[in-house]
Amino acid sequence: MDAARSYLDHAATTPMLPEAVEVMSRELGRVGNASSLHASGRAARRVVEESRELIAERLGARPSEVVFTSGGTEANNLAIKGLFWARRSPERQRILFSSIEHHALLDPVTWLAAHEGARIDVTPVDRQGRIQLDALHASVEQNPDDITVLTTMWANNEMGTIQPIREVVELAGRHGIPVHSDAVQAAGYVPLDFAGSELDAMTVTAHKLGGPVGVGALVIKRDVAPTPLLHGGGQERDLRSGTVGVALIAAFATALDLTVARQAEQADRIERLRQRLVDGITRIVPDAVVNGDPHAGQDHRLPNIAHVTFPGCEGDAMLMLFDAQGVEVSTGSACAAGVPQPSHVLLAMGFDEVAARGSLRFSLGHSSTDADVDRVLEVLPAVHERARAARLVRGGTR
């Protein structure tokens, strides 16, 4: 990362930890396919299995429950498509999922509806971005026998709002419904205990934890058997065929190990930075609105995400103005065919399109410093003024 720039988009990807870079660089020099039986292959397999054991320990899982994938998107697809295909019948075609899922889950679910006959049942959320348990309860009790799988993310990637996973699992467990959770955003900032959660499947990925892009895992109980997406050599319990990336997996394990060890200390430090940031933003722009759960803590929201609406501004314009000043942030909106679209997460939370388009996500991480926050607050007045002026020129306040 250029030292002259302030990076506040850790929720998209966070810089690799130096220790993970060192491990990956060392392992890239190793020869040997981990499926080969000769000495080089056995050495590579040892690295993979020791990494698997470490990852499992840090996530509260058994090593046999860790299935390596290319990242969070593949793990989510394997969980949702795989469980749907494995459990569907003429009488059982329904998928329950929350209205604020990442596109890595939203798109597989909508694809199953369009191509495989799945019936989608969407759980609404409140104004803080937390699923409404009473609505979920009503959906389940409507006919629990027709549900193939239920999925709810552990923490939302735009708001940072933490979901009531234990209550969701308890509700589904009464009827034997498998529950999956996308824990990609949560893994670096709140303690995860797969066994304690009683989830059936959970997604994590390395690049949100200070590891490399291109590797993640689906943590899945041994007695849960989704239909594989890929067929080939039978690696990873025959759930994910393909030659495993030894260096990627070793770096993933190192990053997760260090992140978990430092989690409590880093969460406190990052929460203080976040508070400085939101205090400064609301002081400089009094009508700015900080969204999501106002309370910190593992039952409320992640410590690293601040989602802010700037009335009278376009988020995309502010992003580019910030970028021109060396500050990198995110809008949280999707872009389809070059046309910015309001975030489906914000719309699900009750925002109108104007407010949804006028929001930014500031996300901090292990490399964030007071200087990053200072830089945001330094350039914010000019960025805000120019963005408001541009909006007025393009068509008034609407």
DSSP, residue by residue, 209-267: TTS-TT-EEEEE-TT--PPPS--SS-TTTTTS-S---HHHHHHHHHHHHHHHHHHHHHH
- Which of helix, strand or coil describes residue 147? strand
- Which of helix, strand or coil describes residue 336? strand
Cα(40)–Cα(60) distance, rounded to whole angstroms?
30
Cα(372)–Cα(362) distance, rounded to whole angstroms?
11
Task: Characterise 278 by phi-psi region: left (phi > 0), alpha (psi -120 to 50), beta (else).
Answer: alpha
Cα(334)–Cα(39) distance, rounded to whole angstroms?
48
CB 88 within 8 A of CB 260: no
- Which of helix, strand or coil describes residue 376? helix
Contacts for 356 with CB less than 8 Å, ≥ 6 apart: 333, 342, 343, 346, 347
Cα(124)–Cα(147) distance, rounded to whole angstroms?
17
Which amino acid is located at 253 in the chain? Answer: A
CB 102 within 8 A of CB 184: yes
Contacts for 165 with CB less than 8 Å, ≥ 6 apart: 152, 154, 181, 197, 199
CB 332 within 8 A of CB 158: yes
As annotated, the active-site residues are: 335
End-to-end CA distance of the chain: 38
The token duo for 163 is 């979901």
Token match 């910030």: residue?
A: 322
Cα(226)–Cα(212) distance, rounded to whole angstroms?
26
